């Protein structure tokens, strides 16, 4: 194995295991992340999670707003990297950047391409009821996640997996795969497999509004919906004092008017009728509160069987939090 000079590009915590794995065997000559963002109390600028981790490790860090300015391109080329590794960077790479390193730019993508190209492959795979997903290492080209695949790892999706639990497993699998790919350069490039573009599906970006629970949908679909949006942004319905996020639920037998609260089950779960079947809410998070068992939530609300849960219209019916 030849020790390679790597520029690593990424922004969220998902990219951290891959950076650490590559740093064990290769030289990280620079780390690029999106610019800091204002967040938290006081709206102070905060580094992206990968940038904060990389800075703590002593890597040279850069966070330009784009990679189109001549000065930024000259600096990028000046690092003399053999390869650029990209994991959830969030910025488009112009063709001049893609052509810069001698081994190209390789992206670690959290799906089994060509399924779920795009911004939210983990959530879309769960919401669709997929039984498996994985990681693909892809040679980047101008199109969105369209490049030939140089390696892949498969990961089963368990019945209890959420976007959060699957995210964490895939981050480790991504590190394993990208480490193996870089270790095997340049031979691994000879086995690059073109994608079947006709079989592509797209994982569009998640919006908070999309996470709203539509009680007219079947309970089985809503159970997937809740897992796909847990823990962030969290599937939700409108309560009288703001959104109530649902973090865990399961399908139960029964029927009723969609959105109607049917009462608590023997474990204190909130039973709500849907378009087909009943959904039992196990863990919820009222606005301004921490996650809690549904039984604890019911202890603090005035909610009678027959009450309607949501939709997101001006407050009236639904849960009234407080004694």
Please name which of 263, 244, 239, 241 lies closest in space to residue 252, comparing C-alpha atoms. 263
Phi-psi region of 208 (alpha: psi -120 to 50; beta: other; left: phi over 0): alpha
Query: Contact, 93 vs 140, CB < 8 A?
Result: yes
Q: What is the mean pLDDT of each run of 10 residues along the chain (323 residues)?
A: 96 98 98 89 87 97 94 96 97 94 98 97 98 98 95 98 98 98 97 97 91 97 98 91 94 95 95 97 96 94 88 40 33
Report, in angstroms and rounded to the nearest whole number, the Rg of the chain calculated over CA atoms: 23
Q: Report domain extents, the chain.
A: 5-203, 208-299
As a whole number of angstroms, the distance between CA 117 and CA 133 comes to 12
DSSP string, 231-278: TTT-EEEEETTEEEEEEEEEEES---STTBEEEE-TT-PEEEE-SBSE
Helix axes 16-25, 163-183, angle to 10 degrees: 20
The whole-number pLDDT of residue 128 equals 98
Cis peptide bond prior to 114, omega within 30° of 0: yes
CATH classification code of 5-203:
3.40.50.170
Same fold, 5-203 and 208-299: no
The whole-number pLDDT of residue 315 equals 32
The CATH superfamily holding the domain 208-299 is Formyl transferase, C-terminal domain (3.10.25.10)
The whole-number pLDDT of residue 319 equals 39
Please name which of 178, 195, 88, 190 lies closest in space to residue 141, comparing C-alpha atoms. 195
Query: Contact, 166 vs 126, CB < 8 A?
Result: yes
Name the DSSP letter for residue 85.
E
């Amino acid at each position: 194995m030849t020790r390679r000079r790597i520029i690593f590009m990424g922004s969220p915590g998902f990219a951290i295991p891959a950076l650490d794995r590559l740093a064990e065997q290769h030289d990280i000559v620079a780390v690029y992340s999106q610019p800091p963002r204002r967040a938290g109390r006081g709206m102070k600028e905060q580094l992206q999670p990968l940038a904060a981790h990389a800075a703590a490790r002593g890597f040279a860090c850069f966070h330009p707003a784009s990679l189109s300015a001549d000065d930024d391109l000259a600096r990028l080329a000046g690092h003399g990297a053999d390869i650029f590794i990209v994991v959830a960077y969030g910025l488009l790479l112009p063709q001049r950047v893609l052509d810069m390193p001698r081994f190209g730019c390789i992206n670690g993508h959290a799906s089994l391409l060509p399924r779920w190209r795009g911004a939210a492959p983990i959530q879309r795979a769960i919401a669709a009821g997929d039984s498996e997903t994985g990681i693909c290492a892809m040679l980047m080209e101008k199109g969105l996640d369209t490049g030939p695949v140089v390696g892949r790892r498969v990961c089963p999706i368990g019945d209890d997996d959420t976007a959060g639990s699957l995210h964490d497993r895939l981050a480790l699998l991504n590190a394993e795969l990208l480490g193996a790919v870089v270790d095997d350069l340049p031979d691994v490039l000879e086995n690059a497999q073109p994608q079947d573009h006709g079989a592509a599906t797209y994982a569009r970006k998640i919006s908070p509004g999309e996470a709203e629970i539509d009680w007219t949908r079947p309970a089985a679909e809503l159970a997937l919906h809740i897992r796909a949006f847990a823990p962030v942004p969290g599937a939700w319905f409108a309560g009288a004092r703001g959104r109530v996020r649902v973090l865990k639920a399961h399908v139960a037998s029964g029927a009723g008017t969609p959105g109607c609260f049917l009462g608590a089950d023997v474990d204190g779960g909130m039973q709500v009728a849907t378009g087909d079947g009943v959904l039992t809410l196990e863990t919820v998070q009222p606005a301004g509160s921490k996650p809690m068992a549904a039984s604890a939530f019911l202890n603090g609300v005035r909610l009678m069987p027959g009450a309607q849960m949501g939709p997101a219209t001006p407050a009236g019916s639904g849960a009234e939090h407080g004694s």
